Chain A
Amino acid sequence: MRLEEVITLVSGKVLTDEPDLQAEVAGGCGADLMSDVLASAQPHAVLLTGLCNPQVVRTAQIADVAAVVFVRDKIPTQDLIDLANMEGIPLITSPYGTFELCGRLYRAGLPSLEQRIAHDEGGE
């Protein structure tokens, strides 16, 4: 799915400088816990999150996240937007909550990119 379709589906507002609207988003991932993103999100996912701090952008850079959608109209500080521009990570804000957003994107055919992780000792 292209980024511009994601933006439309979530009724999103783009916060960063002219993102590549044709960029391919491979799937989705929803988490407020950045360790969960690091652990489970596969590359090129759109990240739906209620967290609104620099760690979101830094985590996105590390985890090769395609774009970040902030839920419930959350707007990050300008510092955070600057950081995202520098890292080239599109930030989008949406009026919907996490559950609603997951549902909208999933129903439109966006697959989950949350990798299942075994929590047993030494599990891969």
Chain B
Amino acid sequence: MGTGQDARRVVTDEAAGHISRVEELSYELKIGDVMTRDVQTLSPDMEMFDAMQLLRKHRISGAPVVADGAMIGIISIEDLLRAVENDGLHAPVRDFMTTKLVTVHWYEPVVKALELFGRAAVGRLPVVDENGKMLGVLTKGNITNGTLRALQIDYQEEEVRRYRASHLFQDIISDRTSLILRYRIEPRDFTRGGQASNHIKRALLRLGAHAQLARRCGIAIYEAEMNLIIHTTQGGVIWVEIESDHISMSTMDDGPGIPDVELARRPGWSTAPAEVREMGFGAGMGLKNIERCVDEMNLESKLGEGTRLDMKIVFPPEETFGDTNPAAVISRG
């Protein structure tokens, strides 16, 4: 709907996304990325019987024939069958090998090999370099494995990061473990405004926080980060300390300070200039938003000296970090 997708293709909605990615990968992946490099080769003078034994030993269904470093042919199961039929098991490999070689270059995309497999009815393709020197062999199995591996990397990178981080609190033993994140926030840096908060939210998700919890922390720190950007003279710092059962977040700056803290906490009250409001901030809802998201909030300010905002969120008992069941941690968020 609305995307002009090919109507002839019968693909389930769910599979559609993955298939297009597989197709994409067949163009992205190079043959050299997925081929077998460590190739078992045969010599033209060995007996077909020995070639057969070698294939059986290595559990492969074919191998290139190499003489003086150059590939001169290929032996497959079909050639072996021909030898058996013609009583040629003790004849040299050169008598039965296929010399009409279909090869591919290492730098060509996998899709090229897929076309050849379909067209040339071969099970393996020798892979050569620019000078025709053999580098490896490519089978359909190589392509399947290579594609699956690439897909896995695509989709699981975040999962793996999350898995690693989620074990932090259970892997490191101390009486009280905490993780401290610090960010420097520049005044009027609207382009990067919210970036630190995005990083903090992602860190929490990787540590295994529930989506709802990460969201609460994210909203509170985002508003606080924007306050540093909008109001401070020289910027400030965000300091976040994550422990297994709670998170403390603070912002600190050295001026100008808030003249009337009570007034500043009143919803709708703002001193933000028009250009800040045009950016979608500075409507006087920030502190109110923070208050709604955190369990404890403390705002201290001295005019001419600076402002410190402390926020604390306590994790519900079933959502603490350091879960001993990794499956439970992974499925979060």
Q: Flag A81-110 by CB within 8 Å of B: 1 or 0 each.
A: 000000100000000000000000000000
B interface size (C-beta, 8 A): 36
A119 touches B (CB below 8 Å): yes
Tell me, in angstroms, the Cα distance from A67 to B17 when the chains sit together: 17
Q: Are A54 and B193 in contact (CB under 8 A)?
A: yes
* Chain A residues closer than 8 Å to B2, beta-carbon distance: 4, 7-8, 12
Given A33-B280, A53-B280, check contact A58 B1 (CB 8 Å): no
Interface-side segment among B51-59, B128-136, B211-219, B233-241: B211-219
Q: Flag B195-213 by CB within 8 Å of A: 1 or 0 each.
A: 1011001000000000100
Tell me, in angstroms, the Cα distance from A35 to B289 when the chains sit together: 7
Q: State the main secondary structure of chain B at its contact with A.
A: helix
Nearest opposing residue in chain B for A86, CB measure: B198
Q: Are A62 and B201 in contact (CB under 8 A)?
A: yes
A78 touches B (CB below 8 Å): no
Q: Are A87 and B198 in contact (CB under 8 A)?
A: yes
Q: Are A62 and B193 in contact (CB under 8 A)?
A: no
B223 touches A (CB below 8 Å): yes
B273 touches A (CB below 8 Å): no
Q: How large is the interface on A (under 10, 10 to 19, 20 to 34, 35 or more residues)?
A: 35 or more
Tell me, in angstroms, the Cα distance from A111 to B242 when the chains sit together: 36
Tell me, in angstroms, the Cα distance from A61 to B197 when the chains sit together: 9
* Chain A residues closer than 8 Å to B285, beta-carbon distance: 33, 35-36, 39
Given A22-B17, A59-B222, check contact A33 B215 (CB 8 Å): no
Given A7-B2, A54-B191, A119-B267, check contact A124 B292 (CB 8 Å): yes
Q: Are A64 and B215 in contact (CB under 8 A)?
A: yes
Total A-B contacts with CB atoms under 8 angstroms apart? 99
Our pick among B13, B192, B215, B267 for the contact of A62 (Cβ within 8 Å) is B215
* Chain B residues closer than 8 Å to A22, beta-carbon distance: 13-14, 16-17
Q: Are A38 and B195 in contact (CB under 8 A)?
A: no
B286 touches A (CB below 8 Å): yes
Tell me, in angstroms, the Cα distance from A58 to B302 when the chains sit together: 30
Residues facing A in B260-301 (CB within 8 A) are 267-268, 279-281, 283, 285-286, 288-289, 291-292
A26 touches B (CB below 8 Å): no
* Chain A residues closer than 8 Å to B1, beta-carbon distance: 4-5, 7-8, 21
Tell me, in angstroms, the Cα distance from A20 to B155 when the chains sit together: 13
Nearest opposing residue in chain A for B222, CB measure: A62
Q: Are B215 and A55 in contact (CB under 8 A)?
A: no
Q: Are B194 and A58 in contact (CB under 8 A)?
A: yes
Our pick among B13, B197, B291 for the contact of A58 (Cβ within 8 Å) is B197
* Chain A residues closer than 8 Å to B16, beta-carbon distance: 22
Report the minimum CB–CB distance from B333 to chain A (whole Å).
10
Nearest opposing residue in chain B for A117, CB measure: B292
Q: Are B280 and A32 in contact (CB under 8 A)?
A: yes
Nearest opposing residue in chain A for B191, CB measure: A54
Q: Are A38 and B194 in contact (CB under 8 A)?
A: no
B20 touches A (CB below 8 Å): yes
Tell me, in angstroms, the Cα distance from A51 to B276 when the chains sit together: 12
Q: List 13 A-B contacts (CB under 8 A).
A: A4-B2, A4-B3, A14-B3, A18-B20, A21-B1, A33-B281, A34-B280, A38-B289, A39-B285, A62-B219, A63-B219, A117-B292, A119-B267
Binding site for A on B (CB under 8 A): 1-3, 13-14, 16-17, 20, 190-195, 197-198, 201, 211, 215, 218-219, 222-223, 226, 267-268, 279-281, 283, 285-286, 288-289, 291-292
The 10 closest A-B pairs by CB, nearest first: A58-B194, A34-B280, A62-B218, A35-B285, A8-B2, A51-B280, A38-B219, A4-B1, A39-B289, A119-B267
Using A5-B1, A35-B223, A62-B194 as known contacts, list a sample of 4 further A-B pairs with CB atoms less than 8 Å apart, ordered by residue number in A: A4-B2, A8-B1, A55-B193, A62-B201
